[in-house]
Structure 1
Amino acid sequence: MTGPPPTSGTAGRPGTSRGRLGRWRDQAVALGWLVLVWSLLWGDINWANLVGGLVVGGAVLVFFPLPAVSFGGRLRPWALLVFAGRFAVGLVSASLHVARIAVQPGYRPRGAIIAVRLRLSTDLNLALTAEAVSLVPGTLILGVDRDSGTLYLHVLDTHGPADLDGARDRTLAVERRIVRAVGSTTELRHLDVPSSEKGNRR
């Protein structure tokens, strides 16, 4: 005589364990980004800011939990280093540009609002790209359309269509570097799909 079949609870333990591990991994990734953003907002990466970022980031995740955002990619150290290096160069260049505008007598820069449709409309990609773009002086995220994967940006000091196209290209380049650093293989393939952001001028 055979015994009763195993209960669904016993059979579901491995999946439950993997799901719990995935949630912990997602929380760790979110905490790491919050710490990085906290340090960048202070303008200096030191032990005090790292500890403060861990405390503030942990409090945000505990008391103000964000919607679950799955992370299906993998970390690529070299691509992450490339992203960090290009981001630092862009940050310095944009800061010098804004500083020149601020001290130039009688100069009034023109701003513009543009829409940039990203190649990937996942919540994680939208959040990381929007955060990286908004940290660069002269560019501000005004809104995000989750359904279409579109970012609405205010760009400082524009003189014509070429400047608007340049801002779009820079935003898509940031997305490309982020996906290459932490995206999945499927997401990497989507980078080769042409984007239709050229027709979304505002």
Structure 2
Amino acid sequence: MTGGRWRDRCVAAAGLTVIWMFLWGSFTPLTFTGGLIVAVIVLIVFPLPPVTYAGRVRPYGLLKFAVRFLRDLVVASAQVALLAFRVGHVPRSAIIAVSLRCPSDMNLTLTAEALSLVPGSLIVDVDRRRGILYVHVLGVSSPEEADRFRDGVLDLEGRIIEAFGSRAERRVIEEISA
């Protein structure tokens, strides 16, 4: 096993141990030891696949992503609240397949997480091999609205790649956008 793989496992074990201690609500040597033992067992029984990250964090892209994400969060929350309190209206929904342009594991995960955190959308399935996210969307009642949502997801993917992506991923996004 490589040094990077050992480092990743140690970080995962430390994270799981901290979560264990938070769940127990006490920070004692016994809780720490018990959490560490459980973390090691979990990592042996359920080994994590290796995750490669060829990109780097770009502060300007991260700022753009964060500002737009917060805006999307506020707007979507208001839209869902309006749908919830509309009397006599049954909101329509759809499951939309979105093919990501850069379907790396990291990009799939970050896009899916950001999408699921915004009210009104939820990832129901992922085709990892083909790079497709299946998203349940609230308030979609026409093919045009579904296309707008799909374009929004691809825009989100572009912002994530701008903030965290590798040069190759950024080049793919730039070529497709041009």
Same fold (TM over 0.5): yes
With the shorter chain as reference, the TM-score category is 0.7 to 0.9
**SS of aligned partner of 1:101:** helix
Secondary structure of 1:192's aligned partner: helix
Contact 2:140–2:146 at 8 Å: present in 1 too? yes
Structure exhibiting the larger radius of gyration computed from Cα positions: 1
Q: Give how far 1:161 is off.
A: 1.6
- State the one-letter code of the partner of 1:20: G
User: Secondary structure of 1:70's match?
Assistant: coil
Q: Could you say what secondary structure the match of 2:174 adopts? A: coil
Give the structure 2 partner of residue 101 of structure 1: 83
Counterpart of 1:167?
149
The separation in 1 between residues aligned to 2:6 and 2:75, in whole angstroms, is 38
Residue matched to 1:86 = 68
Instruction: Tell me how many residue pairs correspond in the alignment.
Output: 158
Residue 7 of structure 2: aligned partner: 24
**Contact kept? 1:121, 1:149, Cα under 8 Å:** yes
Cα distance in 2, alignment partners of residues 168 and 150 from structure 1: 11
Of residues 56, 72, 79, the one that matches 1:74 is 56
Structure 2 gaps of 5+ residues are: 24-34
Given the two structures, how large is their TM-score scaled by the length of structure 1?
Answer: 0.68
2:169 paired residue number? 187
1:140 aligns with 2:122: yes
Q: Which residue of 2 aligns with 1:10?
A: none
User: CA offsets per residue over residues 78-114 of structure 1, 9 Å max, x none?
Assistant: 1111111100000010000000111111111111111
Tell me, in whole angstroms, the C-alpha distance in 1 between the residues paired with 2:86 and 2:58: 42
- After superposition, the CA RMSD in angstroms is 3.0
Q: 1:53 to 1:81 in 2, by over 3 A?
A: farther
**Corresponding residue number in structure 1 for 2:29:** none
| Letter of the 1:24 counterpart | R
